[in-house]
Structure 1
Amino acid sequence: MKVVILDTYYPRFLKSFYAEHAGLSHASSQEQTQALLKAAFGTSDFYSRHLNSLGVDAHDLVANCVPLQKMWATENDVSFSAWALRLPHRTFRLPVIGAQLAALPGLMEVAIAQIRSLKPDVLYCQDLSFFPGEVLKDLKSDVRLIVGQIACPLPPESFLKGYDLILTSFPHFVSRLRALGVASAYFRIGFDTRVLDLLGKVQRDIGASFVGGISRHHGKAVPLLEYLATNTPIEFFGYGAKTLPRSSAIRKRHHGEVWGLDMYRALARSRIALNRHIDVAENNANNMRLYEATGVGSLLITDRKDNLGEIFEVGKEVVAYSSQEEAAELIRYYLDHPEEAAAIARAGQARTLREHTYRHRMEELVPVLERHLGARRP
Structure 2
Amino acid sequence: MRVLILNADYPKFLTWLYRRSPELANASYVQQMAARNASLFGVADFYSRNFIFLGHQATDIHVNNWSLQSAWAREHGMAVESEEAPATTQRVPAWLKRVAAPVKPLLRPLARHLGLSPRLKRQSEEILLAQVEEHKPDFVLNQDVFHVDSRLVRRIKQIGSPFLVGQVGIEPSRGVDWSPYDLMISQLPRIVSKFRLAGVRAEVNHLAFEPDILNRLSPPSTPDVDVSFVGSISEDHRGRIALLEFLARRYDLKIWGNISQTVSASSPLWKCLQGEVWGAEMYETLRRSRVTLNSHIDIAGDEAGNVRLFEATGIGAFLLTDFKRNLQSLFEPDIEVAVWRSPEECAVAIDRYLADEGARKAVATAGQQKTLAHHTYRRRVEEILAFLAQ
Asked if TM exceeds 0.5, the reply is yes
Question: For the Cα contact (< 8 Å) 1:241–1:251, is it kept in 2?
Answer: no
Residue-by-residue CA offset, 1:255-280 (whole Å, 9 max, x unaligned): 10011111111101112110000011
1:151 matches 2:169: yes
Structure 2 unaligned segments of length 5 or more: list them. 85-111
Equivalence map 1:320-335=2 (5 Å)? 320-335=339-354
User: Number of residue pairs matched?
Assistant: 360
Question: For the Cα contact (< 8 Å) 2:235–2:263, is it kept in 1?
Answer: no
Equivalence map 1:1-378=2 (5 Å)? 1-80=1-80, 100-102=118-120, 104-142=121-159, 143-158=161-176, 160-203=178-221, 204-240=223-259, 244-371=263-390
Residue-by-residue CA offset, 1:328-374 (whole Å, 9 max, x unaligned): 11112111111111111111111111111112222222222233xxx
Shift of 1:162: 2.1
CA gap of 1:122–1:27, structure 2 versus 1, over 3 A, is same
Question: For the Cα contact (< 8 Å) 1:129–1:159, is it kept in 2?
Answer: no
- The one-letter amino acid paired with 1:72 is W
**Structure 2: distance between partners of 1:163 and 1:98:** 24
**Structure 2: distance between partners of 1:242 and 1:201:** 37
What's the % identity of the aligned pairs? 36
- The one-letter amino acid paired with 1:54 is L
Shift of 1:156: 4.2
- The one-letter amino acid paired with 1:364 is E
**Structure 1: distance between partners of 2:67 and 2:3:** 23
Q: Which runs of 4+ in 1 moved over 4 A?
A: 80-83, 94-99
**Structure 2: distance between partners of 1:368 and 1:274:** 33
Shift of 1:295: 0.7
Question: For the Cα contact (< 8 Å) 2:119–2:148, is it kept in 1?
Answer: no
**Structure 2: distance between partners of 1:110 and 1:95:** 22
Shift of 1:133: 2.0
Query: Which is further off, 74-83 or 192-201?
Result: 74-83
The secondary structure found in structure 1 opposite 2:216 is: helix
- RMSD after superposition: 1.9
Alignment TM-score, normalising by the size of structure 1: 0.90
Question: For the Cα contact (< 8 Å) 1:98–1:129, is it kept in 2?
Answer: no
Structure 1 unaligned segments of length 5 or more: list them. 84-93, 372-378
Residue-by-residue CA offset, 1:225-267 (whole Å, 9 max, x unaligned): 1111112222111122665344321121211001111111110
Residue-by-residue CA offset, 1:173-207 (whole Å, 9 max, x unaligned): 11110111211001111101111111131222212
Alignment TM-score, normalising by the size of structure 2: 0.88
